[in-house]
Homo-oligomer: A and B are copies of this chain.
Amino acid sequence: MEEEHEKRRTSVTIYGQQYTIVGQENPEQVKKVAELVDRKMRELKSKNPYLDSNKLAVLTAVNIGNDYLSLLKSDKEEKDGD
């Protein structure tokens, strides 16, 4: 997903800011992802009120990236266990 001219364009609002997400994913999936990012940003902000919005966004990416790599790892372990 990028901010470029490609297939589908979906407008979403994340942390009060509007983004046009361009990519091959269907708008429903894009909206789910945007909701996830928005929710994680608000959770992190409530726990760390002094974080500026840039660090907040980076740490949100770290947070989601952690969930992603953990899931990848458990998938791999499951497969290796077969």
Q: Show the binding face of A for B, using Cβ within 8 Å.
A: 1-4, 14-15, 17, 19, 21, 23, 25, 29-30, 32-34, 36-37, 40-41, 44, 47-48, 51, 53-55, 57-72, 75
Contacts and interface: CB of A to CB of B under 8 A. Distances in A.
A36 B65 contact: yes
A5 to B, nearest CB: 11
A34 to B, nearest CB: 7
Contacts of A55: 3, 17, 19
Stoichiometry (number of copies): 2
Interface of A is mostly: helix
Given A58-B57, A71-B75, A1 B33 contact: no
A40 to B, nearest CB: 7
